[in-house]
Chains A and B, each alone.
Chain A
Amino acid sequence: MNQWIAIGMLGVVGVALPIGMMVASALIRPRVPEQGKTATYESGEVPTGTARIQFNIQYYMVALLFLVFDIETVLIFPWTVIYRSALAEGVSLSKALVPMLVFIGVLVVGLVWAWRNGAVSWVTSPRALRRKTERQQ
């Protein structure tokens, strides 16, 4: 039996279950449209403008770094799977371990570089920085 059929079926159930609940709810819930009810929630104030604006998400560099490390984990996994059996078959440590250490070492150097350039810290906007210095004075 192909196991992925069962996994696919769980996917089907995983979609059917929420939809079933939505349908059940749609059958029993009331619908009372009132003025002002559908306003966007902003702590009870009259909402100001849309949320779809351009602003600094603060972690652009971190996201780039994530891509690098995420691909790297893909490369580490096959090595971890065969590492122990390779050693058991008599592959020398210099052949099984050292290349991976070099690989991780290169990445760690990259991380250190990013760290020293402040890429992995929360970016403070110039305005917030100014406010902070004003407070300290």
Chain B
Amino acid sequence: MVGGVFLQQTTTANASATTGPTLLPETIAGVLGGNGILVDVVSGFIAAFIVANIMLVMTAVAGPWAKRKITAAFTDRIAVNRVGPFGLLIIVADAVRLLSKELVVPDDVDRPAWDLAPIVLPFSALLGFAVIPMGSGLQLADPETGLAFVFAVASIASIGLVMAGYASNNKYSLLGALRSIAQNIAYEIPLVITAASVVIFAGTLQMSEIVAAQTETFVSVAGVSIPQWYAFVNPFAFVLFLIANMAEIGRNPFDIPEAPTEIVAGYQTEYSSVYFVLFYLGEFIHIFLGGAIMATLFLGGPAGPVLPGFVWFVIKIWAFFLFTQWARSAVPRVRIDQLIEIGWKGMLVLSFANLVLTAIIVGVIA
């Protein structure tokens, strides 16, 4: 109980912690009891472990199973259905298969960088989830600069891609890495500027505050009050952000860093065995991170009727995942020069127009 009292004192002392709901490490620290830096570290570690494993489980379901099933449904096939119910045990089979493959190290690879790249990618994507409010008290941290933190951390992934591409000593890999930079620098600005237009409404960068600002009633239709989700308030920004997000995480129609029909597999051409698994893992967590940012900024975060918050959060990010897979089956890939032109001549101008218009409209109404 002493720990609980101490916790309350520290939270009241810390201004940023008082505003939001209870964070996961604080809950765990309350259960553990005691105080001091050791409890902070241990509870932080346990909370981080829980969050990381939630994402790992989602990726395990999405990668080997859901992706195949969804693509199969779009192309009128059946996909995995032999191993276990609905083929679900393919997840276990694939995990064992991929981990027990021989690791082929190609000639002349730049060794430290080649080994580090598969670590950087999942690290970058996982770290983004530190500030995402997942509902039901599942939030690791809630710094005042949450939104900036997410964008900063998610961008580390491109360094991993460049490391992979350059270290592989493979022409396809190098092209994939260069394409991924071209794509990231073209769509980072529209992404951030569109997010800034949301910040104008919310007036804060703190993730829990952005979610809280969206719980107010937007309009009431026949007694049903529709919450002030920014996807309803500013659908134009929502669409812009969706497109920029797809490009940022490198999904169709913007999957040119991988482009299997052009440059084999892009930056991951030379990776096999567990390294390939880690790239795959990093990509999928990145998709979910993209979905989580969309959910937090535009879809009210974990808010929703009847079901608990975490369930709604999972539904929202899986909806985004389903959308990426839909685009994968339905939309042809853009060319690299088209990508640059869409990014710099289209998205950038539109995102600035969106920001200025939002500022003017908010200014005139307020």
Interface residues of A (CB under 8 A from B): 1-15, 17-19, 21-22, 24-26, 28-32, 37-43, 50-52, 57-59, 62-63, 65-66, 69-70, 73, 76-77, 80-85, 87-88, 93, 96-97, 100-101, 104, 108, 111, 115, 120-122
Cβ–Cβ contact B189 & A73, under 8 A: yes
In the complex, 30 of the A-B residue pairs with CB atoms within 8 angstroms, ordered by the A residue number, are A3-B25, A3-B141, A6-B43, A7-B140, A9-B41, A10-B51, A10-B130, A13-B45, A13-B49, A14-B52, A14-B123, A14-B127, A15-B119, A18-B118, A18-B122, A29-B99, A29-B103, A29-B273, A30-B102, A38-B107, A40-B106, A62-B344, A73-B196, A76-B193, A77-B192, A84-B200, A100-B359, A111-B348, A120-B341, A121-B337
Measured in the bound complex, the distance between the Cα atoms of B352 and A101 in whole Å is 10
A32 in contact with B102 given A6-B25, A100-B359 (CB within 8 Å): yes
Q: Does B228 contact A (CB under 8 A)?
A: no
Q: Is B231 an interface residue (CB 8 A)?
A: no
Question: What interface size band does chain B fall in?
Answer: 35 or more
Q: Which residues of chain B have C-beta atoms less than 8 A from A18's C-beta?
A: 118-119, 122-123, 278, 281
Least distance between A22 CB and chain B CB atoms (Å): 5
Report the nearest B residue to A80, measured CB to CB.
B199
Q: Of B127, B166, B182, B273, which is within 8 A of A10 by CB?
A: B127
* Contact assessment for A11 and B123 in the assembled complex, using a CB-CB cutoff below 8 Å: yes
The CA-CA distance from A43 to B188 in the complex, in Å, is 33
A-B pairs with lowest CB-CB distance, top 3: A122-B337, A25-B274, A6-B44
Residues on the A chain within 8 Å of B44, using CB: 5-6, 8-9
Known: A6-B47, A62-B340. 5 other contacts (CB 8 A): A9-B45, A13-B48, A18-B281, A52-B169, A66-B185
Nearest-neighbour CB distance to chain B for A122, whole angstroms, equals 3
Known contacts A42-B170, A70-B189, A84-B362, A6 near B141 by CB under 8 Å: yes
Main secondary structure of the interface of B (DSSP, over half): helix
Minimum CB–CB distance from B73 to chain A (whole Å) comes to 30
A115 to B352, CA, bound (A): 15
CB of B101 within 8 A of chain A? yes
Check if A57 sits within 8 Å of B178, measured CB to CB: yes
| B170-226 interface (Cβ within 8 A of A) | 170-174, 178, 181-182, 185-186, 188-189, 192-193, 196-197, 199-201, 203-205
Measured CA separation A39–B348 after assembly (Å): 42
Report the minimal beta-carbon distance from A63 to chain B, rounded to whole angstroms: 6
Chain A residues near B255: list those with CB within 8 A. Answer: none
Residues of B within 8 A of A28 (CB): 99-100
In the complex, chain A residues whose CB is within 8 Å of the CB of B37: 5
Give the chain B neighbours of A85 by CB distance below 8 A.
Answer: 203
Contacts of B197 in A (CB 8 A): 80
- CB-defined contacts of A9 to chain B, threshold 8 Å: 41, 44-45, 47-48
Contacts of B366 in A (CB 8 A): 84, 87-88
Residues of A within 8 A of B337 (CB): 121-122
**In the bound complex, do residue A80 and residue B47 qualify as a contact, i.e. CB atoms below 8 Å apart?**
no
Selected contact of B130 from candidates A6, A22, A26, A111, CB within 8 Å: A6
In the bound complex, residues from chain A placing their C-beta under 8 Å from that of B19 are: none
Q: B26 on the interface (CB 8 Å rule)?
A: yes
Contact between B344 and A120 (Cβ–Cβ < 8 Å)? yes
Contact partner of B56 (CB less than 8 A), chosen from A17, A42, A58, A66, is A17
Asked whether B256 is an interface residue with its Cβ less than 8 Å from the other chain, the reply is: no
The answer to whether B105 and A38 have CB atoms under 8 Å apart is yes
B154 interface hit (Cβ, 8 Å) = no
Instruction: Answer whether A50 and B108 are a contact pair too, CB < 8 Å, given A83-B200, A84-B203.
Output: yes
Establish whether residues A17 and B126, one from each chain, have CB atoms under 8 Å apart when the complex forms. yes
Given contacts A6-B130, A6-B140, A97-B360, contact A69 B270 (CB under 8 A): no
- Complex CA gap A37/B270 in Å reads 12
- Decide yes or no: A87 and B49 within 8 Å by CB, A6-B141, A25-B274, A31-B102 being known contacts: no
Known A42-B171, A122-B341; judge A1-B17 contact (CB<8 A): yes
In angstroms, Cα B106 to Cα A39, docked, is 6
Does B171 contact A51, Cβ atoms closer than 8 Å?
yes
A121 to B130, CA, bound (A): 37
Q: Is the CB of A40 within 8 A of B169?
A: yes
Taking CB as reference atom, which chain B residue is nearest A48? Answer: B171
